[in-house]
Structure 1
Amino acid sequence: MRSRFIRILGAVSLMMFMGLGINQAVAACTVPAPVKSIDPAGFYDDPAAYAQAVKPMRDYIYRLNNAAESKQWTCVLALLDSWARADALMGPISGYQGYYERSWAGTDFALVLLRLPREVGEANADQLRVITSWLTRIAIATRDADAINHLHNNLVYWAGLNLVAIGTLAQQQELIDAGLARAREGIRDIGPRGELQREIKRGDRALHYHTFALIPLVFTAELAERQGVNLYQENHGAIGRLANLVIRAVQDPDTFTEITPVKQKLFPWTFQDELSWMEPYYARTHDPRLPMLIAPRRPFREWRLGGNVTIAWGVALP
């Protein structure tokens, strides 16, 4: 009798445990209501209003990236499919910041899907077509955004990554070519010491924006390799010069005075997750300076780049 009771109790406990697991899985894949339009105040114009406006989209991206990191691909597709069918983020934008946010979000979505196992994509081809069509609309909107194109600075390079990432996913060469043109604008702007004149004009944020500009150039160069295009060699190895400038500044911020005498201010994330470009760059170059900089910062997580960059792009360190 006692053994029968124990068996029943064990079965009930197992069912409760399984039920809890299922409920947690369902909760993990609950799809937030689609954000129809992303139109926040400017990041510097009204920081509090900006943070409040972007929170629903960032929460969704955080959920998506976590699902990708844990390889919950069914959840990844469910999240993206729901927002794709709602044509999320494609509503009108009255200001300028929304164009940047939508471009960054589309880049993240594409980089997540470029990690999707082939067999999962093939088994969910209809869903993937819906999502890819939506991302293509985001890319076209980014390509045609005058609010970005007239700037000729780091935001243009980020738009280039958006176009190359989505173009690679959608196998649309015209988007890839438009993205490469924007990346090449940045590469041409890199000076002999790795400096970017437009980012030097940011004053006490110049170092931050050199770092921020380097991110899309490195990731675009990595995707371009899949097209047989070597952006690393262009303008006499310009990306390498910019990378060297930033690496030296991470090792010793005072070295940046060679570029500008203005005392620099950094955001808390400038020398943390925004150094995520070091993962693919080290995997390619094996620069001996990088392991000591990468190791204490791992894992790198960047919401614009599919979440956990270390998992997606990192290699073993010596």
Structure 2
Amino acid sequence: MEINSLRHLAWPKVSTVLAAALPFLLAFIPAAAFSMSSEERALLDLSVYSVHDKNAGYFDKEQRRAELAHTTDRGLRAVMSRLKKRELCAASVSIPVISGAEVTPRFYEDRDAWRRAAAPYHDFEDMVSNLAAQQFIAPDKKSGECLISLLDHWAANGAFLKFDIETSERQTWYQIESSLFAAAFAYSIIRGDIVGHDEEKGRIESWLAKAAKMHLAHPGTDDNTCCNNHFYRRALYAAIIGVVVDDDALFRVGISAIYSALSDASPDGALRLEMTRQQYSAKYQVYATMYLAFIAEVAARQGYDMYNLKFNGRSLDEVVSFSVASILSPETAAQAANTPNQDTEFLKDKQYFSWLELLSRRPLWRDASEALLSSRRPAYNRSLGGYTTLYYFPAAPAQN
């Protein structure tokens, strides 16, 4: 189904008068004035948020296993069949440890050079995500123990810990973000499954916490990476690592991203810092929301419904709805960005769709997510949650 034919599923916008006024306001107000600064985030009282279960992960594993055991959905059964047949352990030992000192060329300056430099990160992310998924659906393959060995090897060799923003440069900073939450997501799936290995788990958790805190020590710049989608990515690894290592402070960094995003949101859910990206505003609205949605899932597993939070008069519902509308029709963001003819190339990239699987169980977005994902399943993102269709797509017995 063509995306243009799905526009009727988009969430209604704010009043015409307010929508028309927003671009004018954006043109005259500094971008950083919208969102919460690093200093303002530090003043938030988030003491009510704590880690309650370090094995809770980002979805209910036992419930999901029970659902998958009885599903007749052909797509889900095909994913499980393919995963069971893969031989992953032997390949996992050949992935070189990334120190973090390596310089990664900037994505927008030299994409070919970036792809070559980023390949080791991507290989690592694919491997941890696949080992975790295989352990989840086929424990007899012992993939969880292989993942423990892989992460312990990286921990023992201080992966990522030689990163320095001055010498490794900013693109390496971005690459490490993805690898950190990929590793933590994967570890969260298998941690409670694997009995014993306490020494290895201790090293892994100490390493994840150390790497997260080292990486967070660079706060980004006041008008950009401190507060927009880049911060939400850092907040995501902080949230899931905070859970698996039982660190409330890290977990609360993740929670603070929801508050920061709501302080930045306009009445219709547009994230105003993302609206400064001109013709790429729709793309970056969706990109930012992907990470916020996963933080909300991590928080939900600890007992906190971030969709019920109202802050600055805004809610995550509004942000997500604007993002879904921006996928259905990128021109949704044109007024808020004060830039018509929004880029649509991002719609060819599956990473902008896999997170919608999280919405498939929520009535507000069920129809839109189903329409957008039906031709794109199984959804997979090597760093952002791995096999999202396997973990989230409703698996009630049904004939296809």
2:381 corresponds to: 302
Aligned equivalent of 2:331: 254
Secondary structure of the residue that 2:190 maps to in structure 1?
A: coil
1:147 aligned onto 2:211: no
Q: How many residues align?
A: 297
Note if contact 2:290-2:355 (Cα within 8 Å) is conserved in structure 1: yes
Aligned to 2:262: 187
Following the alignment from structure 2 to structure 1, what is the Cα–Cα distance between the partners of residues 360 and 315? 16
Quick one: which amino acid aligns to residue 201 of structure 2?
A: L
What's the counterpart of residue 81 of structure 1? 152
| Aligned partner letter, 2:151 | L
The 3 A distance-change label for structure 1 pair 269 and 79 is farther
- Confirm or deny that 1:62 pairs with 2:133: no
Decide which of 282, 289, 294 is 1:219's aligned counterpart. Answer: 294
Q: Distance in 2 between matches of 1:234 and 1:285?
A: 19
- Kept after mapping to 1: 8 A contact 2:236/2:295: yes
- Counterparts of residues 13-28 of structure 1 (less than 5 Å): 24=87, 26-28=89-91
User: Corresponding residue for 1:207?
Assistant: 282
SS in 1 for 2:158: coil
- State the SS of the aligned residue for 1:41: coil
Matches of 2:374 and 2:234 in 1, distance apart?
29
The answer for unaligned runs of 5 or more in structure 2 is: 1-85, 136-142
More helix as a share of residues: 1
Which of residues 105, 112, 116 in structure 2 aligns to 1:41? 105
Query: Which position in structure 2 is the counterpart of 1:5?
Result: none
Q: What letter is aligned with 2:380?
A: R
Q: Deviations over 1:114-154 (max 9, x none)?
A: 1116231x322221111111110121023211336753111
TM-score between the two structures when normalised by the length of structure 2: 0.68
Which segment is superposed worse, 83-92 or 69-78?
69-78
The CA distance in 1 between the partners of 2:221 and 2:215, in whole Å, is 8
CA distance in 2, matches of 1:88, 1:162: 15
Give me the whole-angstrom Cα distance separating, in 1, the residues matched to 2:268 and 2:229.
Answer: 17
Cα distance per residue 1:210-246 (max 9 Å; x no partner): 0100011111111112333332123355221122122
Letter of the 2:282 partner, please give it.
L
Aligned CA distance change for structure 1 residues 50 and 66 (closer, same or farther; 3 Å): same
Find out whether 1:125 has 2:198 as its counterpart. Answer: yes
Question: Tell me, which stretches of 5 or more residues in structure 1 are unaligned?
Answer: 1-22
Equivalence for 1:234: 310
3-state SS of paired residue (1:304)? coil
Tell me what 1:14 maps to. Answer: none
Distance 1:314 1:113 in 2: 21
Partner Cα separation in structure 1 for residue 347 and residue 386 of structure 2: 14
Larger Rg: 1
Residue in 2 that maps onto 1:97: 171
Q: Counterpart of 1:58 in structure 2: which amino acid?
A: H
Q: Aligned to 1:115, what secondary structure does the other structure show?
A: helix
**8 Å CA contact 1:194, 1:242 repeated in 2:** yes
Q: 1:145 to 1:315 in 2, by over 3 A?
A: farther
Q: Distance in 2 between matches of 1:187 and 1:173?
A: 21
Tell me, yes or no, if the aligned pair for 2:229 and 2:287 is still in contact at 8 Å: yes
User: Residue 368 of structure 2: which of 270, 289, 295 is its match?
Assistant: 289
- Is the contact made by 1:161 and 1:183 (CA closer than 8 Å) also made in structure 2? no
The answer to which structure, 1 or 2, has the higher relative contact order (CA under 8 A, 6+ apart) is 2
| Helix, strand or coil at the partner of 2:93 | coil
The answer on whether the counterparts of 1:302 and 1:308 sit within 8 Å (CA) in structure 2 is yes
Q: Quote how far apart the aligned CAs of 1:183 are.
A: 3.0
Q: Distance in 1 between matches of 2:292 and 2:388?
A: 15
- Map of 1:138 onto structure 2: 211
User: SS state of the match for residue 35, structure 1?
Assistant: coil
Q: RMSD across aligned C-alpha pairs, in angstroms?
A: 2.6
In 2, are the aligned partners of 1:99 and 1:147 still within 8 Å (CA)? Answer: no
User: How far is 1:156 from its partner?
Assistant: 0.6
Q: What TM-score, normalized by structure 1, do the two folds share? A: 0.84
Contact 2:209/2:245, CA 8 A, preserved across alignment: yes
CA contact (8 A) 2:258 2:316 kept: no
CA positional deviation for 1:272? 2.4
Cα 1:25–1:199 shift into 2, 3 Å = closer
Report which stretch shifted further, 203-212 or 184-193. 184-193
Percent sequence identity over aligned pairs: 23
* Letter in structure 1 aligned against 2:301: R
Aligned mates of 2:347, 2:390 — CA distance in 1 = 19
Is the CA contact 1:160–1:183 (under 8 Å) kept in the aligned structure 2?
no
Superposed displacement of residue 171, structure 1:
0.6
More moved, 79-88 vs 29-38: 29-38
Deviation at 1:104, TM superposition (A): 1.6
Report Cα offsets for 1:77-135 as digits up to 9, x if no partner.
12211111111111133211222211221111111111116231x32222111111111
User: 1:171, 1:88 → 2: CA distance?
Assistant: 21
Q: 1:123 to 1:285 in 2, by over 3 A?
A: farther
Q: Partners in 1 of 2:289 and 2:88 — Cα distance?
A: 37
